[in-house]
Structure 1
């Protein structure tokens, strides 16, 4: 059975920077959860950050710098969370991940610009990038239909 690494906030865990969750209420998620296929994970908490915590954005890519609006450097925690996301995905046999859109850790396609302007730019979060770099497909909650198709294709290939 193929497992799916999933951002813990999408399962209702209050791990977001603001102490909230972003529960994703969908029949496929509920079914996968009943089947024991979901592996909840929050890279930021796993990396050592508290909940709640100041919002953070990727300030620069090379060298990587992730900080809060007031300049706190969260880079080590974000990097550690990215490493742990890959470790957990590999350990639990995850074929893919469903991660939170627009997150500096979890997004697979766009993140905030690093200036706390509310502007989204093309790019991925650190954990999502680490997973993709190692061949693990990453989807966000806006791409759930694509994830469902991906899982169906994985299942038919394994049969």
Structure 2
């Protein structure tokens, strides 16, 4: 049975930068949990960030692919460069996905790690743009299909077609 890498905050764990969770209440997610298919990860905590922590964004309207290519940086609102930790978290997520043979991931959108459809633009003004975070980009580079929390129905359909 296919395992699914899932953002820990979607599972109700208070791991976000501000100490909150973003629990996703959905019958498919509950079914996957009961079937033992869910592999939880918070790339940022895995990399060594604490809770709470300063918000971070990928600078200059770039995205996770640019970070992985070395042409963009991730900064905390306080000015600290946390690029290395974001890359380490992405690598840890990829290693966990490989360990559990996950070919699918359900990640929280908007995050500089897990965003898959949109991320913030690096101005800390609430502005968003299309793009993927560092973890989502790395997983996709390695053939893992990434779905946002808004696309859980599509993921459920995709898994149903595979069975």
User: Do the structures match in fold with TM over 0.5?
Assistant: yes
Matching residue of 1:24: 24
2 CA distance for matches of 1:145 and 1:63? 34
Partner of 2:15: 15
Query: Under a length normalisation based on structure 1, what TM-score does the superposition of the two structures give?
Result: 0.95
Unaligned runs of 5+ in 1: none
What corresponds to 1:5 in structure 2? 5
- In the TM superposition, residue 69 of structure 1 has moved relative to its aligned partner by 1.4
Deviation at 1:142, TM superposition (A): 0.5
**What corresponds to 2:100 in structure 1?**
92
Higher strand share: 1
Q: CA deviation at 1:64?
A: 2.6
Residue 120 of structure 2 is aligned to residue 119 of structure 1: no
Q: How many residues are treated as equivalent by the alignment?
A: 155
- The CA deviation string for residues 40-86 of structure 1, in whole angstroms up to 9 with x for no partner, is 00000011111110000001435231011120111111000000111
List aligned pairs for 1:138-149, cutoff 5 A: 138-149=146-157
Aligned to 1:81: 89
In structure 2, C-alpha distance between the alignment counterparts of 1:152 and 1:140, rounded to whole Å: 17
User: Residues of 2 paired with 1:154 and 1:102: CA distance?
Assistant: 28
Instruction: Give the structure 1 partner of residue 63 of structure 2.
Output: none
Which residue in the other structure is 2:47 paired with? 47
Secondary structure at the counterpart of residue 46 of structure 1: helix
Where does residue 129 of structure 1 map in the other structure? 137
Provide the aligned C-alpha RMSD in A.
0.9
Q: Cα deviations across residues 78-136 of structure 1 (Å, max 9, x unaligned)? A: 00000011100011011200000111000112100001121111110000000000000
